[in-house]
A and B are shown apart, each in its own frame.
Chain A
Amino acid sequence: MYGLGMIKGFMVTLKHFVGTYTEDVQWLSKRYVDVDKLKMRQSPKGKGLFTVQYPDEKLEVPERFRYIPFLIYEEKPDGAKEDRCTSCGICAKVCPPQCIWIVRADDPVTKRPVPAPKEFYIDTDICMNCGYCAEYCPFDAIKMDHDYELASYDRTTVHVYDKEKLSKPVSYYARIRPTDYAAEEKARAEEEAKKAAKKAGAAAKKE
């Protein structure tokens, strides 16, 4: 019969249409109030309405989500901030669009380079969010941020991030990427233990 295919098709639409209501009744509209329910709404098991009403509702980004990079500093007990960055320049070299600019610090007396950045810029207009800087940094000093709401009114003044704007504490990093942070800390502890053992061994030999 002509039109049967269309009717069959419309049954699918109807199923979806009814589905949105039956799902809502099941959740008693909680799925629109409770942000946790977003995860259910957008999952392989999710049925009915699928959309997320951004910016009223926001999906949680996964841990590995990458946006503009940031620099990590350690917070010392006395309140001092110590950059992890040694200005080795690997991030600037590996950066595909070349948006990272680093001025290496010099010792004021000897004029010899010291392992710290004096200035650090990232042109966020040019950054392509590839994550290479974080991936290849040997000191875990630069990582990709989760903050994706960066719109502003003036590109020439706001979009070039300097060191101050880029720097964030380790605790922030530990919060947004707990798994990565834990793995790195573990590796670091192991490395240090190995070094200590070596030192102890060398000292024992000397004696």
Chain B
Amino acid sequence: MTEAVAPTAEAPAATLDMRFPGAVTPDTRAGYSGYVVTPEKLIEVATAARDEMGYDYLSSVTGVDYLTDGKLEAVYHLYRTSGGPALALKVQTPRDNPVVPSLVSIYPGADFQEREAYDMYGIRFAGHPNLKRILMWEGFGGWPLRKDWKEAYYEQDTKPFDTRWPGGHFYRSEEKNPFAHNVVYPEGFLPEGWVSEAEASQYPDISELEQGNGRGFKTDKIVVNLGPQHPSTHGVFRMVVTLDGETIVELHPVMGYLHRNHEKIGERNTWLQNMPFTDRLDYISSMSNNLGYALAVEKLQKLKVPERAEYIRVLMVELTRICNHMWAVGFLLNDLGAFFTPALYAIRERELILDFFEATAGSRMMCNYMRFGGVSRDIPEKMRDENTMDFINDMVFNRLPKAIDDLDTYLTENEIIRSRCLGVGVLPADQAIAYSTCGPLLRASGVPYDIRRAEPYSIYDRFDFKVCTRPNGDIYDRYLIRMDEMRESVKICQQVLRDMPAGGEIMAGKPQYNVRAPAGESYGRVEGPKGELGFYVVSTGKANPYRYHVRAPSFINLTVLGELCKGAKVADVVVILGSIDIVLGETDR
């Protein structure tokens, strides 16, 4: 009897509901998995999961609005960094007073994700150190992802809209429904002359100083806003930096300038319509985004992808990784002050890969290439009067390895780069895991966690490649890890080109535009170039997803930015941010 209770890797489930009888129950809804936990016991359960069962990595936190049940649900996906499937925990709370205990004390990586769930659903995470809106601004009324919330140009709950066909007399929605008419502000809010409390709270040190010495402003500490319009932020992103001389005392990232409620759009869309929208998340690596979403939905549909399509997918995704890392390395050098020469050398290779994407998918960046059960089109025979396979073979076997070596000789031993990067922005391994960082950022801190190995998807178990790690966790290692990963990706591409069946199906079944998925939930994740890209989808069996959540690596990797920058010099902030490698399309969604 005692043996059965002992926590084992194989049966964490049995131990969880046995350890917490009454508080933890298996999720028995059709198509669901994981456990439902009562809010009171969540902290205890999560602590046990982390300390006793080894679920040290909190991958995703999000909410779901079950409107008809009058409940909001917080969904957690926990993983072991040693690999294996997820432990999903759900906490239900009434819609009119949603309170869930915060997990920040156990998993610091929950910080931004809980803020996002609060921002979008109004779930209050009790005990969160800084619970305020993160993507929306403070003067925003309502909870944008709740099912009863309607956006400014709301037309209908789900697409396709009835006005388009057969009586599709065109009108412009802005004429019919001027923006100002349906904008909601919080109660008692006056748009004119209002200063956000959250904005004021970005500058705690100023107020401290003003109160502290009684003589008003002292100048040895100063608050500087880096961004939102600043070339070093790689988009529209702001860092509120408190400086003591040149040294960073505190840094708060401010984001959401590019927020478009991607997830709400996703829930209005049909399943298929979401595919081109995923391109626009991390627009540098749309192929990876396509794959992540396709996997999540295929998991629900239990679709098997044809052999050749699997190979094409892997080829595309690995080429995307090379593109992304070329871009990241090039622009890291830009951030260091090596203005554009290294970046352009790197981008040149990327251009050629994009040529191949364009010839195959029809677009360089917004590829919209994958479909549920395969890919949209086979690789074309000809590309610029040349055999396409010759082109890609030439790239993968000759040009790319040489280009990477070239970049290596060009940059790796450069003394300026070394002195700017070695030992700067260090992220220790335990902190990297605790903060839920992922991708190159995590592996550069010495954690060999790569989803392609930890929980293999597609056909990655067939390829011989190494999960690269570097031990120091500084900027230099984050640069090196990207070089390593590009080499591994080239290796995978070479194996794909060697083993790919010459012909055959590229789609399971007939292409369909009205795709449906059986009721249930699924969490599909891939090792994107920037880290773990996850899609949490809930289906009710209808033509549209009920819930569509994106676990964005760029967003979650930023959780640790403030910690990384503490004590660094102001000039290093730009480089530290560059070494994390973010894309704001994905951060802000």
Q: How far is the CB of B497 from chain A (nearest CB, A)?
A: 14
> In the complex, are the beta carbons of B395 and A65 less than 8 A apart?
no
The A-contacting residues of B in range 443-466, CB under 8 angstroms, are none
Please determine whether A121 and B513 come into contact, CB atoms closer than 8 angstroms: no
- Tell me if A's interface is mostly helix, strand, loop or mixed: mixed
**Interface residue stretch chosen among B52-60, B302-310, B412-420:** B412-420
Among listed A125-133, A186-194, A196-204, interface-contacting one:
A125-133
List B contacts of A123 (CB < 8 A): 170, 172
B164 touches A101 (CB 8 A): yes
> Nearest Cβ in chain A — how far from B99, in angstroms?
37
Q: Separation in Å of the A128 CB from the closest CB of chain B?
A: 6
Query: In the complex, what's the smallest C-beta–C-beta distance from A85 to chain B, in angstroms?
Result: 12
Among residues of B, the one whose C-beta sits closest to the C-beta of A156 is B172
Smallest beta-carbon distance B407→chain A, Å: 8
CA distance A43 to B381 in the complex (A): 17
Contact residues, B371-411 vs A (CB, 8 A): 376-377, 380-386, 391, 394-395, 398-399, 406, 409-411
- Residues of B close to A185: CB separation below 8 A: none
Q: How far is the CB of B421 from chain A (nearest CB, A)?
A: 13
A179 CB to closest chain B CB (Å) equals: 7
Interface centre among A44, A90, A131 (most CB of B within 10 A): A44
Contact (Cβ within 8 A) A13 B341: yes
**Tally of chain B residues near chain A (CB < 8 A):** 61
Residues of chain A from 77 to 103 with CB closer than 8 A to chain B in the complex: 87, 89-90, 92-96, 98, 100-103
B471 at the interface (CB under 8 A from A): no
User: Does B554 sit within 8 A of A, measured CB to CB?
Assistant: no
What separation, in Å, do the CA atoms of A204 and B395 have in the docked complex?
58
Of the candidates B165, B382, B398, B418, which one forms a contact with A89 in the assembled complex, judged by CB atoms under 8 Å apart? B165
A147 interfacial by beta-carbon distance below 8 Å: no
| The stretch of A4-12, A26-34, A166-174 that contacts the partner chain | A4-12
Is there an interface contact between A100 and B398, defined as CB atoms closer than 8 Å?
Answer: no
**Residue B261 is within 8 A (CB to CB) of chain A in the complex:** no
Can you name the residue of chain A whose Cβ is closest to the Cβ of B391?
A44
- Chain B residues contacting A176 (CB-CB under 8 Å) are none
| B362 proximity list for chain A (CB < 8 A) | 62, 64-66, 131, 144
CB-CB nearest in chain A for B390: A44
Taking a contact as CB atoms under 8 Å apart, the answer to whether A101 and B513 are in contact is no
Judge if A119 is at the interface, Cβ distance under 8 Å: yes
Q: Does A75 contact B (CB under 8 A)?
A: no
Given A102-B168, A103-B169, does the pair A16, B345 have CB atoms closer than 8 Å? yes
Mask: chain A, 155-177; 1 = CB below 8 Å from B; 0 = not = 01000100000000000000000
Q: How far is the CB of A104 from chain B (nearest CB, A)?
A: 4
Of all chain B residues, the one with the shortest Cβ separation from A160 is B170
CB-based contact A130/B513 at 8 Å: no
Q: How far is the CA of A60 from the CA of B394 in the complex (A)?
A: 21
Select A8's contact among B383, B395, B398, B409, beta carbons within 8 Å: B409
Chain B residues near A102: list those with CB within 8 A. Answer: 164-166, 168
Flag the segment in B105-113, B269-277, B322-330 that touches A: B269-277
Given contacts A12-B406, A44-B398, contact A96 B418 (CB under 8 A): no
User: A135 touches which one: B363, B376, B412 (CB < 8 A)?
Assistant: B376
The reply to whether B368 and A131 contact each other, CB–CB distance below 8 Å, is: yes
Asked if B351 is at the interface of the complex by the 8 Å CB criterion, the answer is yes
B361 within 8 Å of A (CB atoms): yes
- Chain B residues in 8 Å Cβ range of A4: 413
The residue of chain B having its C-beta at the shortest distance from the C-beta of A131 within the complex is B362
Contact yes or no, A129 B366, CB < 8 A: yes
- Which of B272, B383, B415 lies in contact with A5, CB distance below 8 A? B415
Interface residue B167 (Cβ < 8 Å from any Cβ of A): yes
Q: Closest 5 A-B residue pairs measured CB to CB?
A: A5-B413, A101-B168, A130-B276, A104-B166, A89-B165
